[in-house]
Amino acid sequence: MAWRYNPLGPLAACASVAVLAGLVMGAVTGRRPVLRVRPGSLGWIALVLGLVALEIRQQGQAELLMTTGLH
């Protein structure tokens, strides 16, 4: 059921491990990895559309939450 409700969960777990590895590497070497993201106007539009799509999908999964006792 968890996979059906949130199929990107494993991606979030992998990202967490990568961030933790970067922090450990920074503590050991004394240099922190830096990620700079500078989205242009199309990047911001894509981000907003992605968030809207996520909200629509989550609302579509509301019945799943109500029927499995996860409320």
Domain residue ranges of the chain, discontinuous segments joined by +: 1-36, 39-71
Per-residue pLDDT of 9-49, as tens digits, reads 888 999 999 999 988 988 899 887 787 889 899 999 999 99
DSSP sequence for 2-71: HHHH-TTHHHHHHHHHHHHHHHHHHHHHS----------HHHHHHHHHHHHHHHHHHHHTHHHHHHHT--
Global pTM reads 0.55
> Residue 7: its pLDDT value, please?
78
Picking from 69, 65, 49, the residue whose alpha carbon sits closest to that of residue 4 is: 65
For the cut 90, the answer to whether the pLDDT of residue 8 exceeds it is no
3-class DSSP assignment, residue 1: coil
Band the pLDDT of 69: cuts 50, 70, 90: low
